[in-house]
Amino acid sequence: MINSLSKKIKIDNRKIAQYGIYAVFLFLVLLFGLMRPDTFFTVNNMMIVLRQISINGILAVGMTFVIITGGIDLSVGSILAYSSIVGASFAHPGEYPLIVPLLIAIFIGALFGGINGFVISRGDIPPFVVTLSISMVARGLTQLFNGGRPVNDLDSKFNFIGGGSVFGIPIPIIIFLVIILIGAFLLNKIKYGRYVLAIGGNKSTAEVSGINVKKVILLTYILSGVLAAVSGVVLTSRVQSALVAAGTSYELDAIAAVVIGGTSMSGGKGTIYGTVIGVLIIGLLSNGLDLVGVSSNYQYILKGVIIISAVLFDKRSKGKSN
């Protein structure tokens, strides 16, 4: 009887963790909908929310893989800034085909992600230290590039990525949806995803079972760097200028979305679709609080409280399930 009761408690904890974020999401929709029914539920506002969350959402998909392995990537905001400003310098009208700035930005993202993954996997240095250091390097390079000035006068084709739409759907939303599907496929349908989960669950066991842990970690940080570059391209083309301060603190929103979405900070557990809900919750909070006139300073405080609460809930649910 005790064993059956223990199993029931474990199942209940899992259900709470799985469905709790959906309840929070619906609560926020109803709350802000009731507070500002004239503005919140409009098609225009919903498109604004989805367009805004697409940048953080792309970052968060990459961050999901990193955190599932038991790591963290504090460099994505700086990688976003540096890859986008260098890529944008090749996106002036009439100079190069559109593919050139895109490939350059993605290459830089992959390069910095590869450095992160190589040092973490080969040097056995904590991800926090490595990615924080790379963040400083990338941010410094961004400030040095072009004399610290933004890169303007971008080609209309480049700007179309962030500002255009297809059948009324903004292109950033379409890119985000494609990234979601690719991320879900990588995590759920191929060996790489199973290896990521196995490494986060128990690194030593993964190594003993024949998984090339160093290679998987390297690929995971490269993926995070590439998606940071993609996010940077979307942001730069949307504002039609590559700004030196772009991406500042973006890693915090990405981490918040991943943790709120149910990915365990200790690794081994997480889903792409949970992260998407986390991104939507962060986006709805920002949009709803803006509509009701709450200062952005209080929004940062609220996001910090939410992250701490999500981590505490994760640790508590893990403790009960053991």
35 vs 80: which has the higher pLDDT:
80
Helices (H), the chain: 2-35, 43-68, 76-88, 99-123, 127-144, 156-163, 171-188, 191-201, 203-208, 213-239, 250-260, 272-291, 296-321
Of 69, 289, 72, 106, the closest CA to residue 196 belongs to: 69
Q: Is the pLDDT of residue 134 over 90?
A: yes
Of the ranges 29-38, 59-68, 202-211, 288-297, the best mean pLDDT one:
59-68
Please compute the mean of the pLDDT values over residues 40-69 and round it to a whole number. 91
* Interval 52-79 mean pLDDT: 95
Diameter over CA atoms, the chain? 75
Q: What is the DSSP string of 187-214?
A: HHTSHHHHHHHHHHH-HHHHHHTT--HH
Confidence bin at 11 (pLDDT 50/70/90): very low
CA of 19: how far to CAs of 24, 29, 282, 291, 300, in Å? 9, 16, 17, 27, 25
Residue 144 scores a pLDDT above 60: yes
The reported pLDDT for the residue numbered 260 is: 87
| Structural domains of the chain, with CATH | 31-317 (1.10.3470)
Q: How confident is the model at residue 5 (pLDDT cuts 50, 70, 90)?
A: very low
User: What is the model's pLDDT at position 121?
Assistant: 92
Q: What is the pLDDT of residues 84-117, one digit of tens each?
A: 999 999 999 988 999 999 999 999 999 999 999 9
pLDDT of amino acid 315? 63
Share of the chain above pLDDT 70, in %: 90
Tell me, what amino acid is at 153?
A: D
Which string of DSSP letters, residue by residue, matches 297-321? HHHHHHHHHHHHHHHHHHHHHHHHH
Q: Does the pLDDT at position 119 exceed 50?
A: yes
Q: How far apart are the first and last CA of the chain?
A: 18
pLDDT tens per residue across span 282-317: 888 888 888 887 777 777 787 777 777 766 776 666
pTM: 0.88
Residue 42 has pLDDT above 90, yes or no: no
